[in-house]
Structure 1
Amino acid sequence: MKDIVEVVHRYLRDSDTSWTVAVFGAIAEYHTVQGQPQEVRLSADGGTIVGVGGALRVALSGPVRLAPYEFLTKRRDFWLHGVNLCLPEDVADIGCGKFGLAELGPDEKAIRQDDRSAILFDLGLGRPTLQAMIRTADPALIKALRGQIGRNLLGAEGAEAYRLILAGQPHRVFQSRLGRVEVYNPIPAPDGRTAPGPHTHILPDLLASGRTHSANVPVPPGHVPVLHFCPPNPILQRDGEAAPTLDRNHMAAFDALLDRFGEAELEAAKRLARDGVRAGSPPPDTTDLSRRERTAIRVALRKLAACSPGDAAVAHWQEAFETQPAIPPVA
């Protein structure tokens, strides 16, 4: 556990890292807005960040697995990455699998002292590894929500509760076995734009799938992701546009995570590509590799191309492995 806590401490101190507590279809994200103050406090099991628009708590316990990963974007020159903190399925269950709005009482675990007398309401999303809540000290909103107790917010009967929540603008509080994200920023109107910084999304159609995470993201067998962080990407900015230059320090830092905690089969495939390019060897028969191995090799080749633009050996391997046409980077 000590080595995982060290990794968490490093990225809690990095204001360019974003954090999420989520399941597929419901997510709370903690992002730092450049120029806004925040307070970071580290602890033996993680730490907290308190910012203007929200707060984050990481509290590691149990048999935590750290699972870094990389995956492709539709733009041929880029890739994405992230890190899941995973637990065995039975350990990750926090007993929140019921549907319907429920009152929970004062939020004694609130990150800020001033919020601990406010009242929590569980949104009742029916997901055992995620508790999605709202928090308010407004007597009128508390009274109105008590009239909606038991209503399923994912169906038509939840329309009035959603209207009350949008009008009352309570805090949103999402927590799992390993983390909590609190969002103080206002909820945007249905046709509005999400403000920068901490925010939440609830997408009933995706929730209905019952999945804990995207199929593009590998997790250890028998485990589920319950906390996620995304270190800065070496070639993309936060808004998804191309960075002016490749940040080799960010690349090296994430490569070190992959070397230490990455999936052995996929890291071996990446080494195959790197060693083959450096030796000038021809690409292997792609049919001899699994889909996941081919994806890992494509990521490795995109990273090599970013480090050595125009390299003929990299281009030769990419010709064998890239199946979609190249899309020019965003200027």
Structure 2
Amino acid sequence: MKEVVRQALLDPRNTWSIGTFGAIGEFRWDAGEETLHTDALSRVTKRAAIRITPADDIKIIAFETLAADGKSWHNDVAFCMKRTAEADKPHVVRELGPDRDALREDQRDAILFDLGVGIGHVHMCARTHDPDHIKFMRSLEGLSIFSEQARHLHADTLRAQPHRVMLSPLGRLEVYQEIPHPNGKSPEGPHTHLIAKSITSGRTHAATDPIPEGYQPILTLHPGSPWRDVLGHEQPFSDEKDAAFLALWNQYALPDEHAIAKTVRETVTAGTAPRPDVWPDTRRGRTTARVALRRLTQKRDANVAAWASQFDNIPADQDAELLAE
């Protein structure tokens, strides 16, 4: 794991996240951006910071999910740990004291509060020096941030602009950029999301992610997309970035997804007409097969159009609805 992390942290095209479904923090850095500190497993900028602490009992899963535009896909590498009953704390606000492990020295006397919205091994926290915000947060000790007593929390958070700190057994991710006001736009680069409706689902990850039963992703690498730049703008397909992810996928994808992609590649490139009997009968299997078809389209395989017409022809709006399930 350590070498995968070390290499990935060197590439500014990659994004990292720590979080659960609805409570997540994201880190990335730009080429040429001022770095306050960096070493093999951490990086601190003026906008955010990350420190990763590798562990031996981690299951690494590389996978792809469909994009709703009908032609592209997303790449992810999830670092997972078994979820245990001991990891599930009550979903309430808890003061954790001065953040002695803060990645910036000037923040090690700031007070850290667990917001009680993480699930399992992952915690979303807020860190502040602001005395009024500290007082307000202390008044919520043992309560849910969705309780009546916390009705002014959002307004006071916008005023105080605390740092957000995501904690997991594999390290921490800190975001210093401001939280946008209502109807405002999230800042480019590192940011956090806190979505109440998603949090209450109790899920640790999206339904489209092939995380094995009993496991929880506690750190995720989002490799540079072959389709988009770091700001999400579409660009010509990059064989180089696709090959970089495939090196990880070849090593860490689930065995059945390897087998499905191999079957699709070999069957289509052999010039075989579309065959429903070789098409997967599971949701994840169909996703893997559809990504394989989309990748073959980029390789200009002459036979892929017939297969895509039969098996990868869901309209974009229906596709987006399917992916959100």
Cross-structure match for 1:323: 313
Distance across 1 between alignment mates of 2:226 and 2:7: 17
Cross-structure match for 1:88: 82
- Taking the TM superposition and a 5 Å limit, the aligned residue runs for 1:146-157 are 146-157=138-149
Distance across 2 between alignment mates of 1:326 and 1:140: 48
Q: Which amino acid aligns with 1:259?
A: N
Cross-structure match for 2:188: 196
Cross-structure match for 2:33: 36
Per-residue CA deviation, residues 49-70 of structure 1 (Å, 9 max, x unaligned), is 1112110111122410110100
Distance across 2 between alignment mates of 1:323 and 1:66: 31
What 5-or-longer segments of structure 1 have no aligned partner? none
8 Å Cα contact 1:12/1:40 also seen in 2 = no
Distance across 2 between alignment mates of 1:150 and 1:326: 44
SS of the aligned residue for 2:242 comes to: helix
Per-residue CA deviation, residues 99-142 of structure 1 (Å, 9 max, x unaligned), is 33222111011112221111111112262322111111223332
Cross-structure match for 2:61: 67
Distance across 2 between alignment mates of 1:139 and 1:325: 52
Per-residue CA deviation, residues 62-113 of structure 1 (Å, 9 max, x unaligned), is 41011010011111111111110001112xx774622332221110111122
8 Å Cα contact 1:134/1:173 also seen in 2 = yes
Distance across 2 between alignment mates of 1:144 and 1:207: 22
Distance across 2 between alignment mates of 1:297 and 1:147: 52
SS of the aligned residue for 1:312 comes to: coil
Match of 2:122 among 130, 139, 143: 130
Distance across 2 between alignment mates of 1:167 and 1:96: 31
What 5-or-longer segments of structure 2 have no aligned partner? 318-325
Distance across 2 between alignment mates of 1:264 and 1:178: 25
Distance across 2 between alignment mates of 1:273 and 1:151: 52
8 Å Cα contact 2:49/2:103 also seen in 1 = yes
Distance across 2 between alignment mates of 1:150 and 1:249: 50
Normalized against structure 2, the TM-score is what?
Answer: 0.91
How big is the alpha-carbon RMSD for the aligned residues of Structure 1 and Structure 2? Answer: 2.0
Per-residue CA deviation, residues 270-305 of structure 1 (Å, 9 max, x unaligned), is 111111222112232157522222221110111111
Cross-structure match for 1:240: 232
Distance across 1 between alignment mates of 2:87 and 2:271: 55
Q: Which amino acid aligns with 2:39?
A: R
8 Å Cα contact 1:183/1:200 also seen in 2 = yes
Offset of 1:225 from its aligned partner? 0.6
Q: Which amino acid aligns with 1:99?
A: H
SS of the aligned residue for 2:116 comes to: coil
Distance across 2 between alignment mates of 1:164 and 1:73: 37
Distance across 2 between alignment mates of 1:106 and 1:293: 47
Matched, 1:26 2:23: yes
Cross-structure match for 2:297: 305
SS of the aligned residue for 1:142 comes to: helix
Distance across 1 between alignment mates of 2:83 and 2:143: 28
Q: Which amino acid aligns with 2:95?
A: E
8 Å Cα contact 1:301/1:314 also seen in 2 = yes
8 Å Cα contact 2:118/2:124 also seen in 1 = no
Per-residue CA deviation, residues 188-218 of structure 1 (Å, 9 max, x unaligned), is 1122111112111111111111011000000
Matched, 1:272 2:270: no
Distance across 2 between alignment mates of 1:57 and 1:190: 30
8 Å Cα contact 1:25/1:207 also seen in 2 = yes
Identity of aligned residues (%): 35
Per-residue CA deviation, residues 238-273 of structure 1 (Å, 9 max, x unaligned), is 343321x22111111111111111111111111111
SS of the aligned residue for 1:246 comes to: coil
SS of the aligned residue for 2:151 comes to: helix
Deviates more, 1:10-19 or 1:26-35: 26-35
SS of the aligned residue for 2:257 comes to: helix
CA gap 1:94/1:113 in 2 versus in 1, 3 angstroms: farther
Match of 1:180 among 169, 172, 175: 172
CA gap 1:248/1:210 in 2 versus in 1, 3 angstroms: same
Cross-structure match for 2:304: 314
Match of 1:8 among 5, 8, 17: 5
How many pairs are equivalent? 315
